[in-house]
Structure 1
Amino acid sequence: MKKINLMILLLLMVTKLQANAQQQQLPPLVSVSGVGEVRVQPTEVVVNLGVETREKTLDAARTETDKKAAAIINYLKKQGVDAKDIQTSYVTLQPIHTGGEYGRTTPDFYLAQKNMTVTIKKLNSFDKILSGIYEVGANHVHGVNFQVTDLEKFKAEARKKAVVDAKQKAVALTSELGAKVGRVYAIDEGGSSGGPRPMYKTAMMEQSAAYDAAGGPSIAGGEVVVMANVDVSFIIE
């Protein structure tokens, strides 16, 4: 047992000495962080919408919710939304007790919910579609997310800009000290992200009349901002 412990101790000492030796052998470095950003117009919008029905019986709640959901799907297809861009994301059916007599087992009503995620690729028809889904049965819109189809292409562009930014920072720092930037010693890519920045002119429409009164689109897609970050170490010459 003592022999094993001694071997482990010797191994740890050797590892520490090697690490110290590597640190001592590091060349003079300048380490910087680069940021790249690409702003693009969104090409599609993802809408999370829902149907909620409250009825006295379980079957009535389920039937009415399914009926409204089917009407929404049919409407979306008529508006040119592809079937593969319509997905049911959440379904629930439950009894609701609002209080009353102690020990009462019969629910006051049954609540049925069905949520769908819809991708609309014709942005100029977004307002019309949003208005129409309320007419055919939707009573909730949980979120609107503007995005681009070919996100990876813009991530690559943002990454290139981040590398250029890092090089420019390194050159600026070393030139102030009369030195020059040499070859890259190490590079590490940080997180890349693409996020929507929608700008809202009014609140989310709750009925078709709101769209008619506005006299035009009520929601602007804004920009999708794609960012990349890199950490780079250059050898100082």
Structure 2
Amino acid sequence: MTMQLHTLTAAALILATLGAAPGRAQPVPSPQQWQQQSAITVIGEAQKSVPPDIAQVEAGVSNMAKTARAAAEANNNAMGKVLLELRNAGIDAKDIQTSRLSIQPQYASNRSGPSEITGYLASNLVTVQARDMARVAGLVDTLVVAGANEIRGISFRVANSSKVLDDVRTEAIADARRKAEIYARAAGVTLGAPLVISEDASPGVAPMRKMATSFDAGAPVAAGQETLSVTVMVSWAIKAP
């Protein structure tokens, strides 16, 4: 039993050592080190679902014309109306950002020879941020009524995710201790202090979650909830009997 325990704890110590610094090679402990610092290594997990408090809508206008200049002028006028309506709706200037601006030639399909340019497509997309979930549906309506003919989609996120994640981290450590104590009791040993605590390099700060990209004025918008999660690996020392 003692030899099996040392073998298991030695393997756990190797995992803990490798997990302490992801991406960096670590020396493998010697058998003597295994004896000196036996450990139980477990994974702790926790998550929390919270309603998002920021929404981003990507929308814009596209215009076709015979010349690039005419397409650009028509596009500038159309976007000007959209931006004016956004300001009239109370959207702060810092919450409106251009995300794409382009003018592209359009070609006629011609299998027998070189394709000819038939016109130019000018596009201007903006990302509009809403900090009040109750205003999201109205924001979509404002964009459509103002002349936006491209609504790319809506994304949601949690503004102060760090504070929520700090609570989740505490729960993840508690989950790791619970699991380690189960193993310790089963093995007839006692847990000591944690030797290594390593968090997943990508804690679950949910990325901006996109909704469907087809909207009409008056379209209902449901924000739902975002799930923030944390995974930690903890190696606990084993106290000598």
**TM-score normalized with structure 2 length:** 0.79
Q: How far apart are residue 181 of structure 1 and its match? A: 1.4
Q: Which of residues 190, 205, 213 is equivalent to 1:194?
A: 205
Q: How far apart are residue 26 of structure 1 and its match? A: 4.5
Provide structure 2 residue ranges, at least 5 long, that are not aligned to the other structure: 1-25
Secondary structure of 1:42 counterpart? coil
Q: Which of residues 56, 68, 75 is equivalent to 1:58?
A: 68
Secondary structure of 1:219 counterpart? coil
Contact kept, 8 Å, 1:65 with 1:114, in 2: the verdict is: yes
Range moving further from structure 2, 166-175 or 136-145: 136-145
State the aligned residue count. 212
Distance (whole Å) between structure 2 residues aligned to residue 155 and residue 70 of structure 1: 40
- Residues 138-184 of structure 1: CA distance to partner in whole angstroms, max 9, x if unpaired? 12222311112211111211111111111111112211222221111
Matched, 1:48 2:58: yes
Contact kept, 8 Å, 1:197 with 1:224, in 2: the verdict is: no
Distance (whole Å) between structure 1 residues aligned to residue 72 and residue 184 of structure 2: 70
The residue number in structure 1 matching 2:4 is none
Secondary structure of 1:96 counterpart? strand
Could you tell me the percent identity over the aligned residues?
26
The residue number in structure 2 matching 1:228 is 230
**TM-score normalized with structure 1 length:** 0.80
Distance (whole Å) between structure 1 residues aligned to residue 153 and residue 196 of structure 2: 41
Q: How far apart are residue 102 of structure 1 and its match? A: 2.1
Q: How far apart are residue 38 of structure 1 and its match? A: 1.7
Range moving further from structure 2, 188-197 or 112-121: 188-197
Q: How far apart are residue 80 of structure 1 and its match? A: 1.7
Secondary structure of 1:194 counterpart? coil
Contact kept, 8 Å, 1:196 with 1:225, in 2: the verdict is: no
Q: How far apart are residue 91 of structure 1 and its match? A: 0.8
The residue number in structure 2 matching 1:11 is none
Q: How far apart are residue 36 of structure 1 and its match? A: 1.8
The residue number in structure 2 matching 1:97 is 107
Q: How far apart are residue 61 of structure 1 and its match? A: 0.9
